[in-house]
Chain A
Amino acid sequence: MIHIHDLSKTYNGVTVLKIDELQIPKGESFGLVGNNGAGKTTLFSALLDLIQPTTGYIQNGEVKVHESEAWKSHTASFIDESFLIGYLTAEEYFYFIGELRGQNKADVDKLLAGFEDFFNDEILNKRKYLRDLSKGNMKKVGIVATLIGNPEVVILDEPFANLDPTTQIRLKGIIKKLAAETGVTVLVSSHDLMHVTEVCERIVVLEKGSVVKDIKTSEATLKELEAYFSKEEPLVE
């Protein structure tokens, strides 16, 4: 589904991202971890054609993202608050995204009904503009909006941050279901090693812009990651 080839991004002579080759097959739940400045958000931004790669390209579906805009119709993303429109209410925002993705109000309402638990009665019919919501609630809105219109690729940057424990657990359920049942390719970045290992089939570790680990998730993955990030050699059992 997604093919990254010879991708690099350089700012003033400093290379912040360098990935020679990375394939993400359709229906995979893909986790991206790395410390601050490792290049996670840069990679996602390049994937969404928000920044121009210095070399190489990213192919999403059939097209290269910087050449055609055809990827936009099957890709949904939530990176940060700049993906929300502050002066709309949550409903208006969902309908707006729905209209852009060819869904009418009834379609959107049907989808939202499935997220009643997730919203925990804090989002809908609250007579509040998005700019006045708490960070966690903004995130809920942004995440659910990515699911409108049956996208094939969903990209979430740090979806677990700022969420309360109950919502984190529910979100894990949502992400797992997406990849397993509907064949959606999900890309998630996170600082929470436990969450990513739980929801992602594959985990890639970035450091200083390069892929240093590419793991198929198993029982041992969490230990391996913890050992890596604590900068200790893994214990041989």
Chain B
Amino acid sequence: MIKYFLTLEWKSFFRSAAFQTNLILKIFMALGALYFIGLFTLAGVGAYFGLEKAGLEPLETVNRFMIYYVVLDLVIKYMLQKMPVVNIKPLLLMPFKKSKIVNFALGKTIFSFFNIVHAFFFIPFSVVLLTQGYDPLHVITWHLGMMAMIYINNFINVFLNDAMPLVVGVASVLIGLGALQYYGIFDVTPYTGVYFQGLFEQLWMFAIPVLVSIALYKVAHSYFLNRLYLDAGLSAKTKEASTENLDWLDRFGKTAIFLKNDIKLIKRNKRSKTTVIMSVLFLFYGLLFFSGGIDSYDNPFMKIFAGIFVTGGFLFSFGQFVPSWDSSYYPLMMTQNISYEEYLRSKWMLVVLASGISTILALGYLYFGWEAYAAVFVGGIYNMGVNGHVVLWGGAYIKTPIDLTSNKKAFGDSSSFNVKTLLITMPKLLLPIVLYTIGHFTLGPVFGYALVALAGIAGFAFRDFMFKKIIGIYKTEKYKTIAAYKQKN
């Protein structure tokens, strides 16, 4: 029986839409996976020697901070890893026991990337411990204990599927504890560190997490088994709809029709909400550059780069996928009495408004001196004037349908990657840096900033021309886009 499950899995993996893309994309995906694996391996090896160099006992320190690692893992799992319920429905009527189906679904999560990736940290780290003369038996039991902790998270996540407040609570407690520790008010790590250190020192202790994870598996199993009905565990949750009146937007004329719709789109769909949250995080991205924390980032050119990103979070994460946001009802848009001009203008206004708001919110960067904010400010102008158009232009070539109701793929959509969009990314990021460099080396930094700002203002001046060009592209790409958006079904 298990053989059939496995062949089903095999086919669903290799025949998935993401995998049916071209070879270059597969290579990119493989490189991406290797990158993460490499990163974790490096962290595993590096953690030991790095900590030793810093004069700390490596294993003890790792154990001390392990609580953050474990809780963070849970939060990430909650956000990204979903129980694969969709594939279960067709199996329900097949002639085998339900408990087998549940075993299969839960067993599948064991091999999830989110669990396996930790092995790439713990295995190298454990190997280093062994080579450094730690007791092999203790290292192995510690290792087993740690992996069991990861699996405890895995099975907790099965229940958590719809406990947003709880997870937000856990995350904020974590942040709170981190802050308390940072400011030296209260340090939780010595207390939790005892447990993790115990996993190493006491041979028998690894049995605790292992037993707990097995128990959780059992609980998760019966939890799912009892809810294996279409109207219980397998049902999609429906939220009560709220209607809202956005008539105040009518002052924007015909554009308002779409603007109202776009605001509802953003507010009512999981995927778009995630995008907005991400674009807020972009606001803080500049801290890496301006605080001088990272040496290679600490030069004026990178600061322009930061300025573009700080003010362009929404532009990049939302604007990039216009018109894919409307992919699920694109045929409607194409047969209604709609002019591309108004449709695009609404998206453009959203992007520009968001960039403007980000520029204002970024006033905090004044703390790092006027030059820091100048970089952010001209970055904002450039985003509004130039990138607002460029991003819509690039969107015409991205033909990945977006599933608004799912968060999957919200973090980087591999298939939206193609040579054309890559080329279009260049003016978004490189041009302002080049402009600044020219200014910087001729008349000085202020001239550099002025050049970037001027380019942005020039972008505004060419708006109508740019719109005409973009509309032309949308028209020629129309049939291909409609066909591509159909693919998901």
Contacts and interface: CB of A to CB of B under 8 A. Distances in A.
Q: Do the two shown chains form a genuine complex with each other?
A: yes
Given A87-B404, A128-B238, A96 B337 contact: no
Contact of B332 (A75, A85, A89, A92): A85
Contact of B335 (A50, A84, A127): A50
Contacts of A77: 335
Interface in B232-268: 238-243, 257, 260-261, 264-265, 268
Nearest to B265: A87
Interface in A24-60: 48-52
B329 A85 contact: yes
B329 A82 contact: yes
A96 B249 CA distance: 14
Nearest to A128: B241
B264 A88 contact: yes
B137 to A, nearest CB: 56
A91 B243 contact: yes
A75 B265 CA distance: 26
Contact of B338 (A51, A72, A83, A129): A72
B22 interface: no
B479 A72 contact: no
A86 B329 contact: yes
A51 B335 contact: no
B245 to A, nearest CB: 10
Given A50-B331, A100-B336, A87 B482 contact: no
B405 A99 contact: no
Contacts of B261: 85, 88, 96
Interface string A81-123: 0111111110110001101111000000000000000000000
B360 interface: no
Contacts of A84: 329, 332
Contacts of A195: none
Interface size class of A (residues with CB under 8 A): 20 to 34
Contacts of B226: none
A48 B335 contact: yes
B455 to A, nearest CB: 34
Contacts of A87: 264-265, 268-269, 404
B238 A83 contact: no
Contact of A101 (B242, B337, B483, B486): B337
A96 B257 contact: yes
Contacts of A179: none
Interface in B261-279: 261, 264-265, 268-269
Contacts of A101: 336-337
A82 B331 contact: yes
B221 to A, nearest CB: 30
B344 to A, nearest CB: 15
A48 B332 CA distance: 10
Interface string A64-79: 0000000011010101
A131 interface: yes
B404 A82 contact: no
Given A51-B482, A96-B257, A100-B337, A86 B241 contact: no
Nearest to B332: A83
Contacts of B269: 87
A14 to B, nearest CB: 16
B268 A100 contact: no
Interface string B330-347: 111011111000000000
Contacts of A80: 331
Contacts of A79: 331
B103 interface: no
A214 interface: no
Contacts of B265: 87
A132 interface: yes
B268 A129 contact: yes
Contacts of A131: 405
B328 interface: yes
Nearest to B256: A99
A49 B334 contact: yes
A8 to B, nearest CB: 16
A73 B328 CA distance: 22
A127 B241 contact: yes
Nearest to A149: B337
Nearest to A125: B243
A2 B242 CA distance: 41
A97 B405 CA distance: 22
Contacts of A100: 257, 336-338
Given A92-B243, A127-B241, A86 B257 contact: no
Nearest to A129: B241
B273 to A, nearest CB: 11
Interface in B382-428: 404-405
B307 to A, nearest CB: 34
Contacts of B264: 87-88, 92
B240 A86 contact: no
Contacts of B404: 86-87
A73 B241 CA distance: 31
A83 B485 CA distance: 13
Nearest to A96: B261
B334 A50 contact: yes
Contacts of B330: 82
Contacts of A102: 337
A18 to B, nearest CB: 19
Given A82-B329, A96-B261, A89 B243 contact: yes
A80 to B, nearest CB: 8
Contacts of A89: 241, 243
A132 B482 contact: no
Residue among A50, A51, A80, A102 with the highest chain B CB neighbour number at 10 A: A50
A80 B486 CA distance: 11
Contacts of B486: 82
13 contacts: A82-B328, A82-B330, A82-B331, A83-B329, A83-B331, A85-B329, A89-B241, A89-B243, A91-B243, A92-B243, A97-B336, A100-B337, A101-B336
4 nearest A-B residue pairs (beta carbon): A87-B268, A132-B238, A83-B332, A99-B257
Given A79-B331, A100-B338, 20 more contacts: A48-B335, A51-B479, A52-B479, A72-B336, A72-B337, A72-B338, A82-B329, A82-B486, A83-B331, A83-B332, A85-B329, A87-B269, A87-B404, A88-B261, A89-B243, A92-B264, A101-B336, A127-B241, A128-B238, A128-B240
